[in-house]
Amino acid sequence: MTKAFPDGFLWGAATAPMQVEGNNLATDLWALEHIPDTVFAEPSGDTVDFYNRYPEDIATLAGLGLNALRFGVEWARIEPEAGQVSRAELDHYSRMVDTCLEHGVTPIVTLHHFSSPRWLLTRRGWKNPDTAKLFADQASRVVARLGDRATWYCTINEANTPMQLTGNGLLSPTAAKLLNPFRATAAAAFGVAPEDFAPFFPYADGEEAIAVVMEAHRLAVDAIHAANAAAQAGITLSMQEQHGEPGGEEEAARIDDVVNRRWLRETGAVGDFVGVQNYSRLRYDRNGRIPETEELSRSGLRMVPGSLAATVREAWEVTGKPILVTEHGTDLPTARDAERVAFTRASLGHLADAITDGVDVRGYIHWCLADNWEWFRGYHGQYGLFEVDRATQTRTPRPSAGALGAIARANAI
C-alpha cells in the first residue's frame, strides 16, 4: 500500500561543519584532537572538504530529487577571536544559502553542532552564563546576514548528548573510562582547572552546563525571531527509544525522563519546532540495559525501524510542536547498503503512519550526506548517502541515495 507524505514535505540530508568542512582550526575540538592521549581516534584534517566543494554536493543532492540540506555555520570561523567577526565567513555561508536556493533546495541552518570557538575554553566554556548571551549574539549576526533567504534554524544540535555520553551508556565503555582523565589532561593543556573546563562536546554534561545550554537555546530563539520574524527556530535532540522488557519498565521510564522528556519539556517546548534525531531503540530488563547482538550497524546500534516513529510521537506528545526529523540513518559500508535502503524504507513507513495518526511532521533529513569524520571514531563511520575517496575527495552516491531520492520525488513510500 502506498503511503503519501504531506504536500511541501522536506526531504534532505544533513552535515555538520566540524565533520565535513575541513581545517576548522579555530574550534575547541580541533585543539582537543591534537592533545597527546586524546580520546579522538584521529584528527579531522581536511575531512571531505565541503567548505570548498559544497556547490557540487548541493547540485548532486538536488539531482537525486532531495529538496533540503541541513548544514551548520561554524561559530569559530565567524568569530575566531572574541569580538573579532569575519564578514568574509558570513559571506561564505550566505553563498551556501544562495546555492541551495538556486537548486530548489531549502536550507536548514544549524547554529551550533558540537564545536565552539577555542577562546571559550579559557572562559569556563559552557559553564559560563555569559556563553548563552555570546551564542545569542552569534545567532543574531548569522540570521541578519542570511536575511529572509533562510527560514529554518536549529539552535543547538543534540543539546542532550553530552549528558547521555556519561549517563546512558551510548559511549563505548573504553571511551567512557577515558573521558574524566582526558578532561584533566586537556584542562591542564589550556591552563584551566578541570572543574572549569567545559567545551560543549563532550563536557557540557553537568547541571551547571546544562543550565547554560538551555538558556543559550532560549536566547537564540529570541534572537532568531528578532532578526527574521518569519523564521522557524527549534532545538534538536538525540532521542533513542527507551523500551522496557519485563522487569525493566521502571528503568526504561526513568532513563526516558532523564534523556528525552526533561529536554522536551525544558527546551523542545521553546521555539517553533522540535528536531528529532533517532538511530535506535535501547532496551532494559531488571538487570539494566540489554546488550544487543542482532541487526547491528557498524557502530553497534541495533537497527529498529519503529524507533523513529516512536520518538517522533513522544516529542509531539510532550511538546505539541511540529516535528522535523533532523537526523536518522545507520552506519553501514557499501557492501551492506541494501540493508540501509530497507531500514530507511521501513522507518519511513512507520513515520507515515504517525503522520496519518495526526502527528505534525514537516520533513525527514537523513544523516548524513557523505561519509565524514565521526567524532571519537574518526574516519570509521559510513553513514553517508555518498561514499567518499578521501585521497581524491571523489564522491560516489550509494544506491541508498537514489532510493531516498525516488521516495522524495514521489513524496510517498
Q: How far is CA 323 from the centre of its chain?
A: 15
Determine, yes or no, domain membership for 186.
yes
The string of pLDDT tens digits covering residues 280-308 is: 999 999 999 999 999 999 999 999 999 99
Residue 170 has pLDDT above 80, yes or no: no
- Please give the pLDDT value at position 180: 79
Residue 405 has pLDDT above 90, yes or no: yes
| 120 Cβ contact list (under 8 Å, min separation 6) | 28, 126, 128, 131, 134, 199
The string of pLDDT tens digits covering residues 201-215 is: 999 999 999 999 999
Determine, yes or no, domain membership for 5.
no
Question: By residue range, what is the domain housing residue 371?
Answer: 10-410
CA-CA distance, 297 to 290, in Å (whole number)? 16
Where helices occur in 169-206 by DSSP H, the ranges are 173-189, 200-203
Determine, yes or no, domain membership for 60.
yes
357 CB neighbour count, 10 Å cutoff: 10
- All cell numbers assigned to 108: 536548514
- Please give the pLDDT value at position 165: 83
Residue 168 has pLDDT above 70, yes or no: no
Determine, yes or no, domain membership for 130.
yes
pLDDT (average), residues 321-347: 98
Q: How confident is the model at residue 179 (pLDDT cuts 50, 70, 90)?
A: confident
- Please give the pLDDT value at position 151: 98
Determine, yes or no, domain membership for 4.
no
The string of pLDDT tens digits covering residues 9-25 is: 999 999 999 999 999 99
The string of pLDDT tens digits covering residues 235-255 is: 999 999 999 999 999 999 999
CA-CA distance, 25 to 19, in Å (whole number)? 13
- Please state the φ and ψ torsions of residue 351, each to the nearest 5 degrees: -65, -40
Q: Taking the model in full, what pTM does it have?
A: 0.97
CA-CA distance, 156 to 273, in Å (whole number)? 13
Residue 49 has pLDDT above 80, yes or no: yes
Residue 172 has pLDDT above 70, yes or no: no
SS3 at position 370: strand
Q: Which CATH number does the domain housing residue 402 bear?
A: 3.20.20.80
CA-CA distance, 188 to 32, in Å (whole number)? 12
CA-CA distance, 62 to 49, in Å (whole number)? 19
pLDDT (average), residues 152-161: 98
- Give the residue among 159, 294, 291, 155 at the shortest CA–CA distance from 227: 155
∠ CA(164), CA(169), CA(170), 5° rounding? 65
CA-CA distance, 70 to 48, in Å (whole number)? 16
The string of pLDDT tens digits covering residues 104-143 is: 999 999 999 999 999 999 999 999 999 999 999 999 999 9
Determine, yes or no, domain membership for 24.
yes
Instruction: List, as one string, the DSSP characters of 287-347.
Output: TEEPPP-SSB-TTS-B--THHHHHHHHHHHHHH---EEEEEE-----GGGHHHHHHHHHHH
The mean predicted confidence, pLDDT, of the chain is 96
The tally of domains found in the chain comes to 1
Determine, yes or no, domain membership for 102.
yes
Determine, yes or no, domain membership for 3.
no
